[in-house]
Chains A and B, each alone.
Chain A
Amino acid sequence: MHLSVNPNRMELLRLRKRLFLARRGHKLLKDKQEELMKRFLSLSEESKKLREGVEEKLRAAYNNFLSARGVMPGEMLEEALLCPGREATVITEVVPVMNLRLPHFELVEEGDIFCYGLVGTSGNLDIALSLFSEALPSMMRLAEVEQWIELMAEEIERTRRRVNALEYILIPNLEETIRSIGMKLSERERGNLTRLMKVKEMVSGR
């Protein structure tokens, strides 16, 4: 589509500058999109692997926990877990990646997970708890990675829209307008030239 501007030299120069800027912006955005894409794909690979590991560990943990539950009376199980000896806290940092602010988690675990007496608790409970605690760090990493994927997908979508708008709308429009202004200007110049020639002929003819 032709932009509605006056066909004069001033506009022509201005549009040329804009075209230059648009091309540079397009190149930058395209590079950004590629880099985001690369990271996105490696993250999605990582999340798939992590998820498999987490699911595997949790399955084993659940199995042991459920069998502990089966042999222990409910109240006793709840009592055993009533006051956890361990405190899990997360230190959250924000990492800037390609203009995105991604959360990064660091898990800090303090204290012992086994905070109940040996009497009356099933051995499966011990196994289940140590499996749960093994799974927790990868669960945190998984939550982090999945969150990154979410945020990155959004950013990639946005960048892609921008790249497309530049590539298929703004740049072609600018090019077309520049071309048409150039043609109008040269047409005007030709008109001027013929007029001059004609005038000269008329003047010298007399």
Chain B
Amino acid sequence: MKIAVIGGKDYILGFKALGVSVFPVETGEEAAQALTSIKNGNYAAIFICEDFAEALKDILEEIREKPLPAVAFIPDPRGSRGLALERLRQNTRRAIGTDI
């Protein structure tokens, strides 16, 4: 299976040299299109830059119910916005039943 990265063209092109499928996008809509087209493809993991996370919320919800592909956020050059930690916190809340 393959790996995909969705993010801004300016900074994720570097992943291309690693043999990862790169989907450079500029707007949220383009990102949504890219994600929709690969979500049922032969991808084990899809990495999404945090700038586009907001636009992809609905599709992500759908994908996360399945065991594959695994979706993870990676920071964009402006730094992390803590979306992954927020997700972790949500899951912890679900597991424990209370917020810690």
A interface residues with partner B (beta carbon < 8 Å): 36-37, 40, 44, 47-48, 51, 54-55, 58-59, 61-63, 65-66, 69, 77-78, 81, 84-92, 94, 101-103, 105, 109-111, 113-115, 125, 128-129, 132-133, 136, 139-140, 142-144, 146-147, 149-154, 156-157, 160
A92 to B79, CA, bound (A): 30
In the assembled complex, B74 has its CB within 8 A of some CB on chain A: yes
- Interchain CB contact (< 8 A) of A65 among B3, B14, B91, B95: B14
Chain A contacts for B47, CB-based, 8 A: 139, 143
Check A153–B91 contact: CB distance below 8 A.
Answer: yes
Check B91–A69 contact: CB distance below 8 A.
Answer: no
- Chain A residue with the shortest CB-CB distance to B13: A81
Query: Which residues between 1 and 46 of chain B lie within 8 Å of chain A, taking CB atoms?
Result: 1-3, 10-11, 13-20, 44-45
Q: How many A-B residue pairs have CB under 8 A?
A: 139
Going nearest first, the 5 A-B pairs with the smallest beta carbon separation are A147-B70, A88-B19, A153-B91, A90-B44, A143-B72
- Chain B residue with the shortest CB-CB distance to A102: B67
In the assembled complex, B94 has its CB within 8 A of some CB on chain A: yes
- Identify 23 residue pairs between A and B in the complex whose beta-carbon atoms are under 8 Å apart, listed by A's number: A37-B95, A40-B92, A59-B75, A65-B11, A88-B2, A88-B18, A90-B1, A94-B67, A103-B68, A111-B19, A114-B17, A125-B14, A132-B17, A136-B3, A143-B70, A143-B72, A144-B70, A146-B70, A146-B84, A152-B95, A153-B92, A156-B94, A156-B95
Interface residues on B, range: 35 or more
Check A139–B72 contact: CB distance below 8 A.
Answer: yes
A63 to B14, CA, bound (A): 11
Query: Which residues between 60 and 100 of chain B lie within 8 Å of chain A, taking CB atoms?
Result: 64, 67-68, 70-72, 74-77, 79-80, 84-85, 87-88, 91-92, 94-97
Check B79–A154 contact: CB distance below 8 A.
Answer: no
Given contacts A58-B75, A101-B67, A102-B67, contact A128 B14 (CB under 8 A): yes
Check B18–A133 contact: CB distance below 8 A.
Answer: yes
- Tell me the smallest distance from the CB of B67 to a CB of chain A, in Å: 5
Check A146–B19 contact: CB distance below 8 A.
Answer: no
Check A115–B17 contact: CB distance below 8 A.
Answer: yes
- Tell me the smallest distance from the CB of A158 to a CB of chain B, in Å: 10
Chain A contacts for B91, CB-based, 8 A: 44, 149-150, 153
Check B94–A66 contact: CB distance below 8 A.
Answer: no
Check A132–B75 contact: CB distance below 8 A.
Answer: no
A58 to B72, CA, bound (A): 14
